Amino acid sequence: MICGSFSTAADLLTPTARQPRAGVAAVVEGVRSDGWCVLPTVKMGRVCDDVVGMDELTVARWRKQGMDRLYVNDRDRRCVGWVDVASGQVVLHDPTKAEQFHAALARHSGPDALTAPAPLTGAGPQGGAGVAGAPGPSGEVDLQDNRPGQSLRGLARAAGEHRGRFGTLVDRLLDRDTQERSWRLGARGEVAIGRRLEKLTAHGWHVLHSVPVGTRGADIDHVLIGPGGVFTLNTKNHPDKSIRVHGDSIRVNGHATDYVFKSRYEGQGAQRLLSEATGIPVTVRAVLVLLTGTIIPAITITAEPEDIIILDRRDVPDAFRRAKSRLTTSEIEIILQAARSPRTWSSTPSR
């Protein structure tokens, strides 16, 4: 099953109907009536080894990115919980099904196979449903710990140190258009939007900030993963300036920019990298957030880009919170685990 398909930029709130992938019927024949999470059981890229059905719950084994997990799903494909086979960590999303959860695992692995600690329940690391405080794969850096504007703040600090404290102070007093100013304002915009995106964690979303891509210092401002799909967000902060959008052309005070091209490149690259890391097709939508520092954004849109969602400060986070559900809990977790790993983003997206 394709993870969250869209047709046009206007489809942020109106998803395209999902279509089953060719060959899926052969995989699920005999267990479909019991209900199971589609994504972990599709045998693509050696993601899943086996599926065991029960009267109410089913168990799917998932191996990818160095992880080995057993996912327990109900009839509606919702993830009841999972257990990490290697570490024994147990995450139980629905405590009311604890008895059935353990019975399903025992049926799958044998009554003495699980020596897990007490189940972890409730919110994930950012307050939403998901992985409850799990470290990054194999103990590596966890990108979920990055803060909004982290990369640009470092660049602005380095530029200020190179210029010197006095020179930087003079530049700021005179409001000179320096590289330090550009990075500082960019970081400020990312922090503002990042704080708004964090509000979505109470609704089952996860957000990664300052995600490094490739080996040349590039990064994605925000990667958003949740029930409504997967999005890359490119934030552009232009205080007290007017912005005009006409298709792929975006002008700031009359000056042309490459914002649409870069946003599209980020979205396409993230889609390829996440699909490769998870072994399943992941649809990613590119979003461009424009800030002008005014109560009423000075943004004129005569025609939106065909495949880029244009938002302003007032649209975040409600545009995502209102989006119709496209991903199950299990799908979100699999994509999130891949997104948290620096290895996923280490190769440069192809143009």
Give DSSP secondary structure letters for 70-108: EEEE-TTS-EEEEEETTT--EEES-GGGHHHHHHHHHHH
Tell me if 202 is assigned to some domain.
yes
Tell me how many domains the chain contains.
Answer: 2
- 16: in domain: no
Q: Is residue 37 part of a domain?
A: yes
Q: Which residues pair with 255 in a beta bridge?
A: 252
Q: Is residue 175 in some structural domain? A: yes
Quick one: 148 and 114 in the same domain?
A: no
Residues 81 and 215 in one domain: no
Question: How many degrees, rounded to 5, is the angle at CA 36 between CA 34 and CA 42?
Answer: 125
Instruction: Evaluate whether residue 3 is within a structural domain.
Output: no
If one counts every other C-beta atom within 10 angstroms of the C-beta of residue 217, the result is 9
Q: Lowest-confidence range among 8-17, 74-83, 155-164, 245-254?
A: 8-17
Considering only 57-71, 134-148, 183-197, 311-325, which range has the smallest mean pLDDT?
134-148
Cβ(17)–Cβ(345) below 8 Å? no
- Tokens representing residue 350 in the block: 């192809």
**pTM (two decimals):** 0.62
Choosing from 75, 92, 121, the residue where a domain stops is 121
Sheet containing 229-237: order of strands? 206-213, 218-226, 229-237, 284-291, 308-312
Rounded Cα distance between 222 and 294, Å, is 22
Indicate if 170 and 246 belong to the same structural domain. yes
188 lies in the same domain as 112: no
Q: What is the pLDDT of residue 176?
A: 61
Residues 199 and 340 in one domain: yes
Do residue 117 and residue 150 come from a single domain?
no
Are 250 and 324 within one domain?
yes
Distance between CA atoms of residues 265 and 273, nearest Å: 12
91 phi, psi to nearest 5 deg: -120, 120
In the predicted structure, residue 63 carries a pLDDT above the cut 60: yes
- In a domain? residue 351: no
341 with 244, same domain: the answer is: yes
Sheet containing 90-92: give its strands across.
48-53, 58-64, 67-73, 79-84, 90-92, 120-121
Residues 167 and 114 in one domain: no
- Is 269 within a domain? yes
Q: What is the pLDDT of residue 220?
A: 95
One-letter amino acid for residue 338 of the chain? A
Residue scoring higher pLDDT (241 or 16): 241
Domain that residue 202 falls in: 139-345
Give residue 226's pLDDT.
96
- 82 with 219, same domain? no
Question: Of the candidates 77, 95, 121, which is a domain's last residue?
Answer: 121
Residue 264, domain member (yes or no)? yes
Tell me what the mean pLDDT of segment 10-15 comes to: 47
Lowest mean pLDDT among 122-126, 136-140, 290-294, 320-324: 122-126
321 and 175 in a single domain? The answer is yes
Mean pLDDT of the chain, nearest integer: 73
Q: 196 and 267 in one domain?
A: yes
Domain boundary residue among 121, 153, 175?
A: 121
Peptide bond into 317 cis (omega under 30): yes
